[in-house]
Chains A and B, each alone.
Chain A
Amino acid sequence: MSSSNRVTRRVFGAGVVAASLAGIAPAGAQGTPKRGGTLVATWGGGEPQACYVPAGGGSSPTFSSSKLFERLGNRTMEGKFRGELAESWKPAADFKSYTIKIRKGVKFHDGKDMTVDDVVYSISEIWKKYAAASALTDFAGITAPDADTVVMTFNTPIPEFFFASLLCGNVNYIVPKHVYAGSDPVTNPANNAPIGTGPWKFKEWVRGSHFEYVKNDAYWRKDLPYMDRLIIRYVRDPAGRAAAMEAGDIHIGVFNPVAPPDIKRLIGTGKFVATPKGYEESVWSTTLECNMRNPVFAKREVRQAMFHAIDRNFLAKTIYYGYARPGTSPIYSPNKEFYTTDTFSTAFDPKKAAALLDAAGYPKKADGKRFAVNLLAAGWFTENGKIGAYVKQALEDVGVAVNLSVPDRPTSIKRIYTDYDFDMAISNQANPSEPVPSTTQYFTTDGIKKGVPFRNANGYSNPEVDALVEKIKVETDPAKRKALVFQFEKIITVEAPLLPILELESITVASTKVQNHSNDPNYLAATWYDIWLAS
């Protein structure tokens, strides 16, 4: 049971990294944790549609619900898996079933014990149908042989990395059966006042302003959390967040709370730290996709041309002030397991883009235009609108007329993921290391789910990709699996239905008073059980 705290100098100043390996409160350089007090947190986005959305619903509900619910497992900063509500898990010899030992003595916020029944219910009813529906396509069933064991069985062999990642999935929570059984989980009123096992208990939601959570006195990690209250405040505007942080009203903001130029200014005051740590398992990208329902995009050369027309370095440098890198593959570069540079490159080359379009049968007409597209830039991040303005210009330079729209969040989600009302769309996604299904569902035929946000919205359907993903799903030999994923990356970069144009460097900005933060590779979705505020 080791714990370590070290202060490292990062690009942006000092980032405090606390790695706690065994779920024990780390103590160290900062002295004895101070108990009590209120921590106010925010994130670089808006208020969620509900506090908890069983199917995920994007980062905003993940941020708000992950403080209240817990998962069976999570990951350390070193990339290792560890148990949270599970104590351990192991595969059978044929990898078709896994035995999970459940932690004892865990209580829900309403005082009822968490039992294997809750685990069985959560996995078979919530994960299977909503939270991890696309990951659990080969799920056969789950049984509870005794009071602290469950056995999950599958129709096909399941790789260990995949299984462990499943237990750590963003919203793969253990929810109380007595609250959800017999209801429609999507509309259950408890979603707006969740009852979980996490370190924080829901108190109230003042819509348009904040969530108030209080300390869970019966939390299974003894004597934690340190703080009495956690407030999640929503501020619509990055400049407003910067002002609130400077005034001391907000202590920590995850996921780019302030505009890039303000990050440097805040660090300059000496009262804040900024760190890119805590996003290793949730790397964000800005994606550009071509709607396959538009016959113009039927030829892959046309799609490739769209990407050749765009200078990704310019976007990274100008719009993100260097806090981004050009995207090169559907698997992102921080992914130690599966990233490869051996992919098809659609680097900035407007001449090649024009040549590809000429060859594909779309020469410039008398008015200098080849065809017209509706470009939708999802308005949930301010930067998307700016990227949209640049992409419009870049495409017009190669003779594609562009009509840009930048709708607000609900309208963007509806137009991209329900109505498919776009020719090209700029959206965002965040993916963990395990590519199935988070990454693959943007490209497979079974990822086309009308009305489900952040899936295959462009309608790309290729039997070759589908078959490859099926192979990746069941390959239990880690080396062979890696090779298959590399192959997937190659095909997708050639086909270019959707590609990340930028990998975003997400930044957490925190007051120097905040201790034990950014200590989880997916910090936005971590439970924050050990955070505390120095005086």
Chain B
Amino acid sequence: MQRFEFIGRFARNRGALIGAVLILVVALMALLAPLVFPVDPLRIVGQPELWPGEDPDFPLGTDSLGRDMLSMIMHGARATLLIGLFASAVATLIGVSVGAIAGYFGGWIDEIAMRAAELFQTIPNLIFVLTIVVILGSTLTNIVIAIGVVSWTPIARMTRAEFLSLRDREFVQACRAMGMGDLKIIAAEILPNALPPVIVLSSLVVAGAILFESAVSFLGLGDPNVASWGRLVGDGRQLIRSSWYICAIPGVAIMITVLCLNLIGDGLNDALNPKLRDR
């Protein structure tokens, strides 16, 4: 019952519904990519710089080397979504752990954790990501870690704020009185109540992570063994005056995906925020 209620509240936000449908399409593309295009998307398969529609074999054309744009877009959806999800997972994991401990224990632990968060916040995010990638090397894992490491601070702050407001509530005090351990209180009692706004924020971090990955790949620091949308935009920029579609197609894909993720974030906010329940 409760689940239907949630979906209903989410679907009341039309934008979120459209966003969710489009993201499902992108996810479907990502899932089907290896079935539709079983060969490596970075393989040279045709003549270079075929415009979309010019050759029925390559509906979205080919890039400057003769690689199939459609195959790269579909496989790119895979890489792009995976990077987004994993980076968001890394950021959420770090953010929730740091925020929960800081908020629950307070005092000097809180001081240290929040000063550390501020330290991370003062470094320009993109430059921080680039630095980590250059030092660790341009592999997919390192890019995910780098994005996670720069994106955790808002989640930590949000979690901490929730914990601060929840830690002295009656039900928590009751748990304490019963002699429940700190860890159990954090994980089993406070966290489930603190989670809704954090989930909304995490969905936005996915969108941010996709943009970071695109920027890193655009600057030529992406993993050259993986087809990602940002890398495609970067590769195509040399030809922007003659074959602009090489940049434009993945660019539009990035834009739509990020927009949809933001819309979903709004929808989740509506669905999870009890105060908006009867709006």
Contacts and interface: CB of A to CB of B under 8 A. Distances in A.
A392 B226 CA distance: 12
Interface stretch (A236-244, A490-498, A503-511): A236-244
B153 to A, nearest CB: 28
Contact of A259 (B43, B137, B238): B238
Contact of A385 (B40, B43, B224): B224
A403 B134 CA distance: 17
A382 interface: yes
A379 interface: yes
A318 B66 contact: yes
Given A406-B220, A408-B134, A259 B65 contact: no
A379 B240 CA distance: 20
A76 interface: no
Interface string B124-143: 00000000001001100000
Given A385-B220, A405-B138, A406-B138, A242 B66 contact: no
A267 to B, nearest CB: 14
Contacts of A404: 224-225
Interface in A375-425: 377, 379, 382, 385-386, 388-390, 392-393, 396, 403-408, 411
A356 to B, nearest CB: 23
Given A382-B238, A408-B134, A388 B65 contact: no
A303 to B, nearest CB: 23
A396 B40 CA distance: 11
B42 A389 contact: yes
B138 A259 contact: no
B175 to A, nearest CB: 51
A53 to B, nearest CB: 23
Interface residues of B, number: 23
A293 interface: no
A389 B138 CA distance: 15
A393 B238 contact: no
A319 B220 contact: no
A318 B241 contact: no
Contacts of A318: 44, 48, 64-66
A261 interface: yes
Nearest to A402: B225
Contacts of B243: 261
Nearest to A260: B238
Nearest to A318: B48
B225 A403 contact: yes
Interface string B32-71: 0000000010111000100000000000000011100000
A265 interface: yes
Contacts of A464: none
B134 A411 contact: yes
Contacts of A377: 224
Given A403-B225, A406-B220, A406-B224, A393 B239 contact: no
A239 B65 contact: no
A364 B143 CA distance: 32
24 contacts: A237-B237, A238-B238, A239-B237, A239-B238, A242-B241, A259-B238, A261-B238, A262-B242, A265-B241, A318-B64, A318-B65, A382-B220, A382-B238, A385-B220, A386-B235, A388-B224, A389-B42, A393-B40, A404-B224, A404-B225, A408-B134, A408-B220, A408-B221, A411-B134
Q: Which 5 A/B pairs are nearest by Cβ-Cβ distance? A: A259-B238, A404-B224, A406-B224, A261-B242, A318-B48
Given A262-B242, A385-B224, A393-B44, 6 more contacts: A261-B242, A319-B65, A379-B220, A382-B220, A393-B40, A408-B220
